Structures are given as structure tokens and as C-alpha cells.
Chains A and B, each alone.
Chain A
Amino acid sequence: MIKYITLSLIVFTQLFSSLNHEYYVGLTEIKFNPEKERLEIITRLFYDDFENVLKARYGNELVLKPSEQSKNVEDFIQMYFDKKISITTDGQTQKLTYLGFKFDEDRINIYLKITDIQNFTSLAIQNLLLTDVIEKQKNIVHCFKLKQKESVLLTRFDSEALLKFN
């Protein structure tokens, strides 16, 4: 925990350091839904950054804009998320099911779920989204289990975290 506090302090001061800096941040929210026994995941990224990354990996002709999207873009998004996000609960590697995406102003929201989760006391996440192209990318993760909330900030070089829950 102390390590993360130090890290986010440095990250935040460097990020803004009182100038109006360009910045690269993604937000992933994981919410435990006990009634449906699943984790509901929403990842929010700047869509132009995301498009650039997908282009770099899967070809320049790929388009991901509110006005226009390549036909098979969902396959690539799914492939990419399988590679860059992994989640285990109580030591068990979980399978992410991709549901779809939605544009929200300058952002794209990607919806995923992990089913068959009755309970968990620890959740390990690796999040490397966009870091393969944007070295400065920071990924904030919020994880909610009932009233408890745990947050971490992950980067290319510090991409994993273990969150403990009651």
C-alpha cells in the first residue's frame, strides 16, 4: 500500500506538475454484483489513443471512431483485452467475456464481465492497456465489492496489483 501511495504521488505530480500537460489515463471499474454472481467491468479509454494502439498492432487501415468503425474491429478489441488485462480471484484465473463498446464524448467504454463469482477475498489484476504504444499511459483501477472500494494506479512497469477484500 505504501508503495502505491508513493507511486501515485510521483505520478500525479509529474502528470500535472502545475503545467497544463498532455496526459494519458485509462480507467477500469470492476464491480461485484452478488445477485448475478459476476464481476461487471467497464474500461474507459480515450478513443483516439485506443485507435492508435489498435492500428499499430493490427494494421493501419483499422478505424475506431464514433462516426465509423471497421467491420471486424470487435474481434481486435477482444483479442487485445485478452492479452492486456488478466484477473484472478482468490488465486483462480478468470475468463473475461467481452460484451461490447460504446462511445462517450472523447472516450470509448468497453464492457466486459466475469461470470460465476459467488464471492472472493482477493483480486489480482494485471492491466497493460495501451502501454505497448504509449509509454506514459497510466491505468487507474477501481474495484468495488459491496461497500468496499480499492483503487490502484498501474503503469507499464508496475502493471500488477493484488487487492484484498472483506
Chain B
Amino acid sequence: MIKQNLLLLLGLLVSFNFYAQEQPEKQEGHTNQNKFRQLYQEFATPNQYRTASGAPGPAYYQNTADYKMDIRLDENTKEIFGQETITYTNNSPNELEYLWVQLDQNIRKKDSPAKEKDGSGFSPVLRPGSIVSEYMDQPFDGGFNIEEVSKDGNSLSYSINQTMMRVEMDKNLKPGENFTFYIKWNYKINDRMNGGGRSGYENFEEEDNALFIAAQFFPRMAVYNDVEGWQNYQFWGSGEWALPFGDYEVNITVPADHIVEATGELQNRKKVYSKTMMQRYEKAKNTFDKPVLIVTEEEAIENEKSKTNKTKTWSYKADMVRDFAFTSSRKYIVDMMNVKVGQKNVMAVSVYPKEGNPLWEEWSTLAVAQTLETYSKHTFDYPYHKAVSVHGKGIGMEYPMICFNFGRPNEDGTYSDQTRYRMIGVIIHEVGHNYFPMIVNSDERQWGWMDEGLNSFVQFLTEQEMGEKYPELLNENNVYPSRRGFPFRIVDYMKGDQGFIAPIMTNPEQIYQLGNNAYGKPATALNILRETVMGPEKFDYAFRTFSQRWMFKHPTPEDFFRSMEDASAVDLDWFWRGWFYTTDYVDIGIEDVKTYKLTDKITEDAKEYLARFGITDPENNPRLEGLVYVVPTDSEEAKSLAPSEDNLENSQNLKTFLMDNFTAEERNKLKELPKYFYEITFNKPGGLVMPVIVEYTYEDGSKELKKYPVQVWRKNDNQISKTIGSQKKITNIQLDPNLETADIDVSNNSWPREQNKSEFEEFENQKN
């Protein structure tokens, strides 16, 4: 009998929310807006090329582009002259009517539309220099000068649309066939210290020398694939590259006293290295603990003074790379150290002028080595034979096996901790780009975050490991002070003006604050996913699965999202939707905390509640006999209805139930009846759903951390309540105590509320 009554009550409770609201007679319907709804509408439909599991499908294909190039650098006129033979192989099931070739240097043409892509306005105060450069200087006339496009000596017709060149073939390129053609070109190298850019030269006037960084320096094949057809979205400056894999053979002719580093394996080292350099190189091959200098600073300074008319040709060969870059100067110092990665050795190389020292000789190669170790652990063993970090003031830019990184000490050689942190950070980041997007070859032109975000995330893990390995790096910090990755660091961005925030899933050309959007937020989201949502073990397995599935292939965002779920069995539609498809932010708060006591006597609230179900005379309703009621502890009612501190004393009904339904032995096995009953209401002013992480502090000082799964929000997106029974009084409740969710407003995160002081007041109190 009693049991039935309880069941009835249980039924009432479940339907309570439904009946409690007053409903207008007719309401509008709506579509599914639930935060947990499936991502079917946003995602591309799985197919034979890309499967629903996130792995490449049975019909997956990718085309390849192999290059044979001869390049000459003229350091006096600051020009590059090149000729290349491209073999393009069509592995797609489709016939291709034409080929698209990317001419990225054309963004520097005098009349390039990219120069006018942003609006401009007058500031009330102007620098004379900017008036001259903006309105009076002759504009730099860069861009490719295409001299010839031909096949077997017969010219091919072509047509250039800004940064894209369509090349006509004599006949359609059938599936499985390849097409070999020749391009001859030259271009003026830009002064990248004047007008910026990912490549160019830095001049040292007083010594008549320059550091050359050559990238995007040759006409490169566009990608043709199952998602974009030809990816010929113009290069406007923000969205980077989409490039097919291929094998490269490149001969680079430079002044004979220059030192060159480039993508690929050096084929004629004995010819271009001196005897001493060769000996030191052999030593570096067997050195795993510290860098070996191949060219010393003294030798580089000596070399700076020479100036030869002779040239030398450096020959490189690279297999399965998506691009090629090189650097050349007579100012370079070189050091190398071997690093064990899996079963093989990888040479970590640094190239820098004396201006980079002493910072570069101390830390560059060690940062390269750390990157190879940590990234390989989280993805796959680094497949190339070397990784080179080149000193490039003011930029961080990545290419296969080689990258260009900022971090220059003051002129007197001193440098701040921050210069060192930023320099190590950028080296890890750019070397890390070997994994994303050089090997896991996403389409950067379409999605900046896919390489920048994934890479910034693993960069964070690497920096933290580097801090553990080299405590001398930390100084006053407990951990490496990564700029991106810690949840609290993204709060300022996520709570910022919505007019200047775009969802992560936006093309780089339309993004505001690219650094926060494509680097910081996805890196932080993945860090939160790993630490707070999935747990490192499940996350790491899935992240490795994605990396290995798409190693040397072209993944899309869906391939990543699907793989992470597929390999972990963690449903993440809500996470991708919230963090990647919206600009919502996390803000969860404690709205209310109520305490209750038990009683057998019916309360006013209970009467009102039962009346809604037509029970008007509950005291005399036999069906309600034996029920237990809750009464707010601090209410007037509680004094008469529940006078004792002991809940069991207040409720004979509960006592009777225990005696009638359990044996003495069973009763002994039960947990003790809680002394305190709490109902805690959490609200959610922020749009993102997240697990609710709560720390309860009890009167004896003990703490308990509870994590309610994110699913608590699936039926009410605004507020949820949780009941707790405990033997000890709760004195404090703290939401997200370790700041792991990037909650943008923590002033509503604690109870009792008064204890919360603003940062300003806290500082003021400390001072006094």
C-alpha cells in the first residue's frame, strides 16, 4: 500500500515540470533547436570518398604533382629566376579539361585587388612617412613574370585570373593519366621588413648583406579533390594554402659564399660544404644531447665580409611533400643535433645570423627536438629526415621540413624572458606545422583553424613538456607560460564584442581576430575537450587515430569531428556545434541553494502542489497515507512541522517504512539517513552547454568535487537543479573551481555569493 503511494508521488514529480507552466491556448511550433541535436544539417553527407566514421572511404583519391626545378637567386637585383617541369597525375575518376596553377606572388602585383580588400579611413593624425608610402611612393611591382608555359617545346595557352592560372592541355586528362609541362618565370623579391609578408628579404645595409626567405616562389599546382573540385579560391592574404603532395628535385643556384637550407635531402653536401663543415656534420649525426655547430659565429662574421661573383648550386630532393621553401645568406650560422624519433634519427637544425645570438644557439635546436618528441607521441612518428628552424625577424611561417621564426635579442645581445618564451613558442608552433598541415594536409585556404588550431593545441602540450624538461626556463612561473591553450586565457576573447567575433567554422578571409579565432579558441577548445570532457586517455587515442588516418592525405573538418567520436564513443555533436559553429560562450552560475528537512505533516507547498492534481483534501485522502514531505529549513513552517534536528525523528512514516520493508540485516547495510538535504539550482546565462563541475566544502573543511555530465542540460537549456543529501553541513559551493571551462563570468560561480569580490576589490584589500 505504502509503496503504491510512493509510486504515485514519483509519477507526480516526473510530470511536475510539464503541468507547472501555465500554457496559453495556442502556441507556435518550432524546429529542433536543442543544443544536443545531431549535426546532420551542418555536415556533408558521408560517401565513398569520406565515410561516416571520419576515415577515408574506399573511393578516396588524391592527385599528385611532381616538380623538377632549377632556381637562381640574384642577390644584387633581388630577383628569383626559375624553371620547372611539373608532372601532374590525375587519380580522380573524372576527366580534367584544364589544370589550375597557383601564382601566389601575384598578390604583390601593382594592381592586385588584394591590396584593396580592406576598407580604409583617415585618422585625424598622420605620420609624414605614411603619407609618402601610401600616396607618393611608386608601389612595389612584384608578382610572377611568366615567360613560358609549354609542353615538349610547344607553348600551351594559359589564362591568368589574379593569383590563379588556368593551363589548357592538348586533350583532356583522363583518370589514371599524367601530364608533364614546363613553366619559366621570374619575379622581384619583396623587402619584407617594409610591407611585411611571409617571405622576402631582410636587408642589412651597413654590411651590404641580406637574409633571403624564398617561399611561394614557384607556380604551384592547385588541389583537385572530391570536396572542392579545383580549389581555386583566390589568394587574398589571410587564407593560406591548399597543395597536393608530390616529389621534388630542386637545384638552387646562389652566390658561392652563401649558406642554403631548404625542404628536402641535400644531394651534394660534399660539394657545397667545406671539409670542416663535413667533419662537424658527421659529428652531429652521432650527437643527441646538444647542438653541434656546423658554421660558427666567428666563421659567419668572417663570411659576411666576403663578396663573390661565383655561384654554387645546392641540389635537394624531397619525397611526399606538399611544398618547397629555402633560405640563403652569407650571414648564417648553422647548428645540428640528432633526435631519436621512433626507430630512426631526425636531424634538428637551426640556421641564424649573429643577430639571433646568444638566444638562438641556446634554445632553437632544443625547441625543434622537443617538438619532434612531443608531436610524434600525440600523432605519428615524424616521417622526414630533418626539421629546420630558420631565424626570420618578425614572422613565424611554416613549410615542409623548414620554417622561419622570430625572436631577436636586443642589439647588445640581452633579451627578456618574454622574448625567449615567444621565440621558443613560435619555433614549436612552426616546426609543429610539419604535422598539421604539411602531413595531415588540410585545406588552409578554406579552414584556417584546421591546421592552426590543431597545431596550437599540440604546441601547448609541447610547451608544457618543455617546461618540465627544462625547469630553468620557468623562472618565476610554475609551468611554461603558454600564450594559448589555458582556458582562462581565452575568456577575454570569448566575452568580447560579438560584432567582432566569428564562429571558428568561418573562412579565414571573413574572420575577425584571426589569432584568437583560428589559433587560440580551437586550441583551448581541444584542451578543454581533452582535460574536462573526454579525459586524456580517450582524447589522445582518438586524436592519434585522426592523425594517422589522414597522414599524407587531405582531411576536412567533418573528418576530424567524426574521427574523434568514432574512436572514443563520446558523443560530441553538442561540443562541435557550440564551440566550432557558434560564438556562444560558457557562463554557468549558482542561482539558488535551498535546504530542506523531512516531516510527516503536510506543508502548504504540498497542498498547493496536490491541488493541481485535483486532490483537495489531502489530510483525509487514504491514498496519501504514509507520505513524507519536505519543508525549507529556514521557513516558519519548519519550526512546527520539523522541530527536531534529526530527520528520522521528524518522520515516523519513514521510520515505519524502514521497519516494515527491510530486515534488521538489510537496514544495517543501508547508508545513514542524510542530516541535511540541499537543492542547488544552476543557471546558464551563457549559450554553451558544458559539464557542471562543482566543489562542495563541508563544515569540517573537507571538500568533494562533483562533475555532472553535460547531458544535464539536454532538456532545459536555462537552469537545472540537483539535490544532495549529506551528513555534514555544506558551507561553500564553488563552480568550476580550477577554471577549466573558460567560464567568462565567475562572479556567479560561488555560494554564498557575498564572498565574491571583484579583482579590483581583492587587490585593494590585500594592499590594506
Q: Please, which residues of chain A bring their CB within 8 A of the CB of B406?
A: 20-22
- Given the known interface contacts A13-B238, A18-B238, A19-B198, the answer about A7 and B123 at a Cβ–Cβ threshold of 8 Å is yes
With A and B bound together, what is the CA distance between A102 and B766 in angstroms?
11
Min Cβ gap A140→B in Å is 9
Given the interface pairs A9-B512, A40-B760, A46-B418, the reply to whether A20 lies near B430 with Cβ below 8 Å is yes
B107 CB to closest chain A CB (Å) equals 12
Whether the pair B397, A19 counts as a contact (CB closer than 8 A) is: yes
The residue that A20 contacts in the complex, of B417, B426, B758, with Cβ under 8 A, is B426
Report how far A5 CA is from B238 CA in the complex, Å.
19
Q: Does residue A10 face the partner (Cβ distance < 8 Å to B)? A: yes
Determine the chain A residues whose CB is within 8 A of the CB of B448 once the complex forms: 18
How many residues of B sit at the interface, in one of the four size bands?
Answer: 35 or more
Q: Please, which residues of chain B bring their CB within 8 A of the CB of A103?
A: 476
Contact partners of A27 in chain B: CB under 8 A = 492
Question: Within 8 Å of chain A (Cβ to Cβ): is B127?
Answer: yes
Does B727 belong to the interface (CB within 8 Å)? no
Q: How many residues of A contact B (CB 8 A)?
A: 46
A99 touches B764 (CB 8 A): yes
- In angstroms, Cα B713 to Cα A163, docked, is 38
0/1 interface trace, chain B 495-535, chain A, CB 8 Å (1 if under)? 01101100000001000111100110000000000000000
A91 within 8 A of B: no
Instruction: Let me know if A17 and B396 touch, CB within 8 A.
Output: no
Which residues of B lie under 8 Å from residue A49 when comparing CB positions?
Answer: 418
Chain B residues whose C-beta falls within 8 Å of the C-beta of A23 in the assembled complex = 515
Find chain A residues with CB under 8 A from B240 CB: 18
Q: Which residues of A are found within 8 Å of B419, using beta-carbon distances?
A: 48
Q: Please, which residues of chain B bring their CB within 8 A of the CB of A31?
A: 758, 760
Interface check A42, CB cutoff 8 A? yes
CA–CA, A12 and B515, complex, Å: 9
Tell me the complex Cα distance, A37–B396, Å: 47
Contact B120 A10 (CB under 8 A): yes
> Is A3 engaged at the interface, CB distance under 8 Å to the other chain?
yes
The distance in angstroms between the C-alpha atoms of A20 and B209, with both chains bound, is 26
Supposing A48-B418, A157-B126 touch, asked if A12 and B514 sit within 8 A by C-beta, the answer is yes
Q: Is the Cβ of A6 less than 8 Å from the Cβ of B763? A: no
Candidates B118, B237, B417, B512; contact of A48 at CB < 8 Å = B417
Query: Which residue of chain B is the closest to A44 with respect to CB atoms?
Result: B492
Contact (Cβ within 8 A) A3 B508: no
5 extra A-B contacts, CB within 8 A, seeds A18-B514, A20-B519, A51-B416:
A20-B406, A21-B396, A40-B758, A46-B418, A48-B416
Residues of B bordering A, CB below 8 Å: 118-121, 123-127, 196, 198, 237-240, 394-397, 406, 416-419, 421-422, 426, 429-430, 448, 475-477, 481, 483, 492, 496-497, 499-500, 508, 512-515, 518-519, 758-761, 763-764, 767
Q: List 28 A-B contacts (CB under 8 A).
A: A6-B119, A6-B121, A10-B118, A12-B500, A12-B512, A12-B513, A14-B196, A16-B515, A17-B514, A20-B395, A21-B396, A21-B406, A22-B406, A23-B515, A31-B758, A31-B760, A33-B760, A40-B760, A42-B759, A46-B418, A48-B416, A99-B764, A100-B763, A100-B767, A102-B763, A105-B477, A105-B481, A111-B760
